Amino acid sequence: EVQLVQSGAEVKEPGESLRISCKGSGYIFTNYWISWVRQMPGKGLEWMGRIDPRDSSINYSPSFQGHVTISADTSISTAYLQWNTLKAADTALYYCARHDGRTDYWGQGTLVTVSS
Amino acid sequence: DIQMTQSPSTLSASIGDRVTITCRASQNIHSWLAWFQQRPGKAPKVLIYKATTLESGVPSRFSGSGSGTEFTLTISSLQPDDFATYYCQQYTAYSPWTFGQGTKVEIK
């Protein structure tokens, strides 16, 4: 069974760093791109970027370039989304999803709350 | 970036109604368009990809049409499970991917 299992909810203060994860199972991890998608409270979906785990090539949305880092560790079939300096505006639900011609499986989402 | 404009933002409809949602791309995306359904508190679910291809397991009352810059998602006969928010997304190889702003389908 294909699954993308994301790490648990996080509560952080502004200025802190954070890395959340997305572990794939039930398929060959390197055969599918992984995208990250943000959903702010009560708002729509925003595509942040994608990684090809096979060669770690990454494309970012200009809206997120420079503020987040996407990476992957193929040895443990896991993709990551990382912030070095969180802001209150980063409070949102973050989804990972896999893609190969279509985006078919999604993680359950990781809620990130940034508040002082 | 390629901008995706969905209309309407909200749609009120009754069970059995035919519903159409439109998505316009700011430039030619050929057929690189997907439609997603999102129910409250749930992850999105793909309905249609490559503009017209129905995802396996998705009811046949859902259909997609269009190419280039104009696309539509049609629900031929609205069912109780279909009250949700729908998003289009372009996924061209030559541009960052983008979603439309969403269309909420409400009970009339």
Whether chain B has a CB inside 8 Å of the CB on A36: the answer is no
Q: What angle do CA A100, B63, B105 make, to 5 degrees?
A: 100
Whether chain B has a CB inside 8 Å of the CB on A108: the answer is yes
pLDDT tens digit string along B74-108? 999 999 999 999 999 999 988 899 999 999 999 88
**Hey, of A68, A70, A102, A110, which one would you mutate to test binding to chain B, going by the most B CBs within 10 A of its CB?**
A102
- Label each residue of B52-100 as H, E or C: CEECCCCCCCEEEEEECCEEEEEECCCCHHHCCEEEEEECCCCCCCEEC
Cβ within 8 Å, pair A102-B49: yes
**Which backbone phi and psi does B95 adopt, to 5 degrees?**
-155, 150
pLDDT tens digit string along A58-101? 999 999 999 999 999 999 999 999 999 999 999 999 999 999 98
Please count the other Cβ atoms lying within 10 Å of the Cβ belonging to residue B52.
14
